[in-house]
Amino acid sequence: MRRLSLLLASLCVLYHVAFSFNDDSFFHRSISKKPIDAGQVANGNFEQGPKASDMKGTVVTKRDAIPEWEISGLVEYIKSGQKQGDMLLVVPEGAHAVRLGNGASIKQRIKVIKENYYSITFVVARTCAQNERLNVSVAPDWVVLPMQTLYSSDGWDAYAWSFQADYSLAELVIHNPRSKEEDQACGPLIDSVAIKALYPPRPTKINILKNGGFEEGPYIFPNTSWGVLIPPNIVDLSDHSPIPAWIVESLKAVKYIDSQHFSVPQGNRAVELVAGKESAIAQVVRTVVGRTYLLTFDVGDAGDSCEGPMVVEVYAAKENTKVSYESKGKGGFKLGFLKFKAISTRTRIVFLSSFYTMKSDSSLCGPVIDDVRLISVHNS
């Protein structure tokens, strides 16, 4: 009887494995062999397209027709230069993108390291709907990004969002949550999708703040010059950020920029406050009540033709300061500082821009923050 029981159990296991393999055969073909540390996901720029037999006009008719992706609902495969009414659809990188109709989604399974943090960067453009949104998820984490604000002049923006891997296989889903009863032609366009592992920074002997130079952050596409938008925490409710240790504590996004495309005061990365007082970034640090601290930081411009007077407001404990900077739009920076006495074991340090600033092409811009340092000093 014992041998019979073991035999039956073995047959059940084999049946379950065979059934699972057949059910998920599409995913087994599309999963990368090893975790990606930084770079585009498989066919992340959608340059590998569906066969002509799997399309009806621009509409993709088969769920696994786009290599490495699975689709649901009305998904269109768009070629750069294609017209929608009087509007010319231009793809920023490569020649193809996908459009998500109302209620439609695309998804891909990606190998990751369990419990590690990751950021997803993707390039998106809205078409005709003012209230477009995009739902991005890796269960159980998710975010719904509003797209009412256009930050660039050409209609395309890169966004980043972060998650913690609960499993060694992450199922990334990008979904258009609009009602199917609304105009299907108004769905967002998705061009490039990338992933980057995030490594939680630690304070050092010379800086109580973590990631004060913003060197740890999301993937930036090398062939784009917009930077990457980090959504505010009123939208992204997770307890982690694409810029580790920092919180976007505002109504609008901040822009994460790199030295390849922008003027950065120190190192390779910085943050641009692009939406006035609606664009703020903060960090909570451990402090000792009654001890005096000195906060230093760089304020400058990104060298992106953002001209005019700029003012950065800084808050810590009961103290605050304003640092003025006159931008010529060609790069440069000045040093700012704030001394304060801690009134709690945790102190929130906040940076925000006093004014809205726009470039000549009407795109949003603002002052750059970099090289933020905090040290304990002797009481005077």
- Residue range 282-295: mean pLDDT, rounded: 96
Q: What's the pLDDT at 378?
A: 79
Residue 29 host element (H or E): helix 25-30
pLDDT band at residue 8, thresholds of 50, 70 and 90? Answer: very low
Q: State the Cα–Cα distance between residues 135 and 107, nearest whole angstrom.
A: 12
pLDDT digits (tens, 9 = 90+) for 296-312: 999 999 999 999 999 99
Q: State the Cα–Cα distance between residues 241 and 256, nearest whole angstrom.
A: 12
Q: What's the pLDDT at 46?
A: 96
pLDDT digits (tens, 9 = 90+) for 312-347: 999 999 999 999 999 999 999 999 999 999 999 999
CB 61 within 8 A of CB 101: no
pLDDT digits (tens, 9 = 90+) for 224-281: 888 999 998 766 656 789 999 999 988 889 999 999 999 999 999 999 999 888 889 9
Q: Minimal CA–CA distance to 372: which of 217, 220, 240, 203?
A: 203
Q: Which residue has the higher pLDDT, 66 or 15?
A: 66
Structure tokens at 358: 């726009």
Q: State the Cα–Cα distance between residues 131 and 87, nearest whole angstrom.
A: 18
Cis before 140? omega within 30: yes
Q: Which residue has the higher pLDDT, 27 or 195?
A: 195
pLDDT digits (tens, 9 = 90+) for 14-28: 333 333 333 444 444
How many CB atoms are located within 10 Å of the residue 82 CB?
17
Q: What's the pLDDT at 25?
A: 43
Q: What's the pLDDT at 178?
A: 82
- Residue range 124-140: mean pLDDT, rounded: 82
The full DSSP string for 116-185 is -EEEEEEEEE--S-TT-EEEEEETTEEEEEE-----SSSSEEEEEEEEE-SSSEEEEEEE--S-TTS-GG
Residue 333 host element (H or E): strand 332-341
Average pLDDT value over all residues in the chain: 86
pLDDT band at residue 155, thresholds of 50, 70 and 90? Answer: confident
Q: What's the pLDDT at 2?
A: 41
Q: What's the pLDDT at 236?
A: 60
Q: Which residue has the higher pLDDT, 298 or 88?
A: 298
Q: Is pLDDT at 380 greater than 60 in this prediction?
A: no
